[in-house]
Structure 1
């Protein structure tokens, strides 16, 4: 018994020396945003199913705010830092891009108290909530249209290619109304900002005043701008280019990594076809493709969006936006674990959140780029080739090593002074640059002690049993 206690004590002491991941406070740079199409996410409260028809793709299907509340713990485990809700304001359609009342919650989704509850639940998990804020179109039967008000202009196509009356944001009264509306939502619910949809007619001065107004109400509130150039704009060109590269193996990321990268990045959205569908059309496994894509998204400067259902990953089988109910009961464990690991790495990395980016090596369709901050340097290797590739890295001191974080391995300097990163086809890894301490003799010694103790314990039990049988 005393011997067993000693073995257990050694094991406990050994475990105390295993390194842990430190969770740091999230900064606004490097948000991991999960976009939710509210009506097509989760039906958490059937009492607000006022008029649903799940067989009609244009009707409400029952998703609501309570359904999102119920899923917050799951999203937190994925490392999501911000929830972006599709328009929750009262609208003419399930998607909310045809506004009816900018200052009320669509009763199909719940009420303002439930939105407040969602914000509180998200706060408990150190996350944020932002709302889609459509500043381009209203529904055909909006009061402004009926009154033939100069608050609306001639019809134009909205984000979903529907022809609707256009909001006249050149009208100063309209601007004032939406500025007050934005402040209303911040004050009444505690949300953390907006994802605004605008067009080329939107005065830049209005966007700047909107940002100032919401930050005067809540200092750390932020604004994502979709439709015109802005410091926090959605990078749609990036999405088109990266999907074309990563939907199949064989193409290099070099053209993407040699241009200026900033803003908010994504692979798919409620307004595009599924990335999964694009990969399946090319005849490739979507989980493999998604693992490469998510490694890229989580290690680039700026912030990244993922669209509901990425955990599956979902495919509606057509070249159109996927507005089906999220199939969250079909989560793929491999991609979920990959997303969780990426989130943990980024959470603890100053280089990934704030560092510079530089492409440093190419080998076939394998790219290696460096993210460097004052206190940390990371190397990201993504092999989008059809075969194993080797990249030789130069300019790294001889007393350093590259420690793999996605795949647990160590890369040390070769005799020619280079560091050789080897990746199998369609895989990726993230390396942190650290001092080369040589072999971990303490770890090896402890393993020998534990294994030796275990063997000795088995031998002792065996001898004791043999003696008992002889007696």
Structure 2
């Protein structure tokens, strides 16, 4: 059984390492995305400048493209398939966040050069990692050539933002010149850097007509382009935004629900299923924090919980339910921060938690090995207190995900497993068989998770049991013989 579990975890990762990225045309639903805030990730070779001050949350901290290159193996080992970078376009002074763009066709010199970006993409592709760039269609610096033209700008109604959007100029993408400039910029980075796609910033703030035209243009340029979309205000997100052609859009409502459930022990997990139903059962971009939010780890700590324990429950949900997981940099450490600014600091790689890293690898292996966890039907199989069991099935495979967020051991009984089958746990090496009433009782400890695959009930492994018994008998005989020999030697000496 243990050999089977090890193979489940090992084989998918070996396959991911062996195949080049361009040989695999995976659907975007197969991806696991690592979100990088470039200036706050890792300093590779950025030299101190008058814009750098790690003690000032509003200044550059020195993260750069070389720093990302240096950590590609680290990212790959955690099981991620895509890296999504924050805006790297040239910004006005102080624009560490990437939203004060004054040149859409140039790499921010605080981060490196176009050659650095090209090398980053090349090295990422060698490791079968895709690269997305954040594309900002709505905002620019007050120093941008369009900033003073009222026909090319709109009123910016953001009044308070830790990442500088309140001080940016809001562009009018429906203006012909602005539209053409953005189309040209979209083409530019695809041509120059061979990136795999874009994370379109604030699709809720982008006029739907432009958004659709922009997406159609990008797809005509690169038919296999990968596109995701971020959201500033979920209330502004319209059906037209979803219909524009971006397959994965962030879900702030689900993010808030996940952060609330898993940072409070005893909160029923089935609230997340209710939220998923309310949201229209979409396969969204699932995230639990990002550069705009307070760190999830901090919320856990504030509530007196163990960060690693709570993170495991959250990751299990994100990796096994509908949608694509997006994990913000440093979550694997796991990093905290009492404010948004404090959470957005250079990643503390020397503080990483090995247990967290192992769990990332396990969840990636499960998601890779079992397509049903990515594309299968999803339903709530049962709940008991703050424990829920979710079912995923696709006609060929069936799996159950048990998440216990309760303060004590809980069990959920399910009765829809076919005769002659057993549930084999892939995280805790548990086996659940039918009881005398014909049901299957899934019981797990407090604040824990198990993922079960339905497979044929092979009964007891008598060969394995026989081997164990045989080893035990041999051990006993060896002890007896050794004791007799020692007594014999002692008698001879006396």
Both proteins in one fold, TM over 0.5: yes
Contact 2:5–2:426, Cα closer than 8 Å, also in 1: no
Whether contact under 8 Å (1:132, 1:196) holds in the other structure is yes
Conservation of the 8 A alpha-carbon contact between 1:157 and 1:164 = no
Q: What are the within-5 Å matches in structure 2 for residues 45-64 of structure 1?
A: 45-47=45-47, 51-64=51-64
Larger mean CA deviation between 350-359 and 246-255 belongs to 246-255
Of residues 179, 183, 190 in structure 2, which corresponds to 1:179?
A: 183
- Summarize the Cα distance change of 1:262–1:462 in structure 2 as closer, same or farther, 3 Å threshold: same
- Structure 1 stretch displaced more, 311-320 or 356-365: 311-320
Give the 3-state SS of the residue equivalent to 1:368 in structure 2.
strand
Match of 1:211 in 2: 215
Question: Which SS does the other structure have where 2:293 is aligned?
Answer: coil
Compared CA separation, residues 321 and 375, structure 1 to 2 (3 A): farther
> Deviation at 1:15?
11
Report the equivalent of 2:257. Answer: 241
Summarize deviations over 1:61-109 as a string: whole Å, max 9, x none.
Answer: 1110111111111111111111010101111310101211111110111
**Alignment CA distance shift 1:177-1:365 (3 Å):** same
- The aligned residue for residue 342 of structure 1 is 363
Between 1:97-106 and 1:438-447, the stretch displaced more is: 438-447
- Which stretch has the larger CA shift, 49-58 or 127-136? 49-58
Which residue does 2:450 correspond to in 1?
429
List per-residue Cα deviations over 1:286-322 (Å, max 9, x = no partner): 1111111111111111101111110121111236672
Residues 139 and 170 in structure 2, CA contact (< 8 A), matched pair in contact too = yes
Q: How does 1:199-278 map to 2 (within 5 A)?
A: 200=204, 202-227=206-231, 228=237, 229-230=241-242, 231-258=247-274, 259=277, 260-278=281-299
Aligned in 2, Cα 1:18/1:96: closer, same or farther, shift over 3 Å? closer
Alpha-carbon distance in 2 for matches of 1:155, 1:431: 50
Cα deviation for residue 247 of structure 1 reads 1.0
Q: CA deviation at 1:165?
A: 1.2
1:354 equivalent among 365, 371, 375: 375
Distance 2:307 2:186 in 1: 39
- Counterpart in 2 of 1:367? 388
What residue number does 1:291 align with?
312
Asked if structure 2 preserves the Cα contact closer than 8 Å seen for 1:187 and 1:217, the reply is no
Deviations 1:139-179 (A, max 9, x none): 12222225x36322333328635232111012133222212
Q: List per-residue Cα deviations over 1:20-61 (Å, max 9, x = no partner).
A: 233266542142111111011110113485741212211111
Are the structure 2 counterparts of residues 15 and 456 from structure 1 closer, same or farther at C-alpha, using a change threshold of 3 Å? farther
Give the whole-Å Cα distance in 2 for the aligned partners of 1:233 and 1:426: 29
* SS of residue paired to 2:400: strand
Number of residue pairs the alignment of both structures matches: 457
- Which sections of structure 1, spanning at least 5 residues, go unmatched? 1-13
**1:20 and 2:7 equivalent?**
yes
Distance across 2 between alignment mates of 1:256 and 1:101: 42
Q: Structure 1 residues 272, 449: CA separation in 2 closer, same or farther (over 3 Å shift)?
A: same
What value does the CA root-mean-square deviation take over the aligned residues?
A: 2.8
TM-superposition CA deviations, 1:186-231 (whole Å, max 9, x none):
1111111111113556332332333333333333211112234324
What's the TM-score, normalizing by structure 1? 0.89
TM norm structure 2:
0.85
Q: 1:399 and 2:420 equivalent?
A: yes
Equivalent residue number for residue 154 of structure 1:
155
Q: In structure 1, what is the equivalent of residue 100 of structure 2?
A: 98
- Corresponding position of 2:112: 110
Give the distance between the partners of 1:192 and 1:403, measured in 2 at CA: 38
Q: Structure 1 residues 435 and 163, CA, compared in 2 at 3 Å: closer, same or farther?
A: same
In structure 2, C-alpha distance between the alignment counterparts of 1:17 and 1:131, rounded to whole Å: 38
Query: Does structure 1 residue 442 correspond to structure 2 residue 494?
Result: no
Q: Kindly indicate whether the alpha-carbon contact (under 8 Å) linking 2:47 and 2:62 is maintained by their aligned counterparts in 1.
A: no
Q: CA deviation at 1:360?
A: 1.1
1:129 equivalent in alignment to 2:131: yes
What secondary structure, in the 3-state scheme, does the structure 1 residue paired with 2:380 have? Answer: strand
Q: d(CA) in 2 for partners of 1:113 and 1:225?
A: 27
The CA deviation at 1:398 is: 2.4
